[in-house]
Chain A
Amino acid sequence: MISANLSALFYLVSGVLFILALRGLSSPETSRQGNLFGILGMIIAITVTFFSIGNFSTGLILVLIFITLGGSLGAFIAYKIPMTAMPELVAGFHSLVGLAAVFVAISAFLNPNAFNLGSPGNIKLGSLIEMSIGAAVGAITFSGSIIAFLKLQGIMSGSPITFKGQHPLNGLILVSIVMLIFLLCKTQSTNLFWALLIVSFLIGFLIIIPIGGADMPVVISMLNSYSGWAAAGIGFTLENTALIITGALVGSSGAILSYIMCKGMNRSFFNVILGGFGATDQSSSSRNKEQRPVKSGNADDAAFLMKNASSVIIVPGYGMAVAQAQHALREMVDTLKKNDIKVSYAIHPVAGRMPGHMNVLLAEANVPYDEVFELEEINNDFANADVAFVIGANDVTNPVAKTDPQSPIYGMPVLDVEKCKSVLFVKRSLSPGYAGIDNDLFYKENTLMLFADAKKMTEDITKNL
Chain B
Amino acid sequence: MEIDPFIFRLSIFILSIFIGYYVVWSVTPSLHTPLMSVTNAISSVIIVGAIIAGLASNSESIFNISSIFGFLAISLAAINIFGGFLVTQRMLAMYKKKKKDK
Contacts and interface: CB of A to CB of B under 8 A. Distances in A.
Interface in A61-111: 62-63, 66-75, 77-79, 81, 83, 86, 89-90, 93-94, 96-97, 99-101, 103-104, 106-108, 110-111
Nearest to B86: A78
B48 A368 contact: no
Nearest to A109: B66
Nearest to B41: A38
A253 B35 contact: yes
A60 B55 contact: yes
Interface of A: 11, 14-15, 18-19, 21-23, 25-28, 31-32, 34-35, 38-39, 41-42, 45-46, 49-50, 53, 55, 58-60, 62-63, 66-75, 77-79, 81, 83, 86, 89-90, 93-94, 96-97, 99-101, 103-104, 106-108, 110-111, 113-115, 126, 220-221, 224, 227-228, 231-232, 234-254, 256-257, 260, 347, 349, 354-357, 359-360, 363-364, 366, 368-372, 374
Nearest to A99: B76
Interchain residue pairs A-B with the least CB separation, the first 9: A114-B56, A70-B78, A356-B32, A74-B83, A248-B16, A252-B20, A74-B82, A111-B66, A355-B32
Contacts, number: 373
Does more than half of chain A's interface fall in helix, strand or loop, or is it mixed?
helix
Given A22-B38, A244-B13, A103 B69 contact: yes
Given A66-B74, A369-B95, A25 B47 contact: no
Interface of B: 5-6, 9, 12-14, 16-21, 23-57, 62, 64-67, 69-99
Contacts of B19: 19, 248-249
Contact of B62 (A26, A62, A83): A62
Given A53-B52, A360-B33, A71 B95 contact: no
Contacts of A238: 48-49, 52
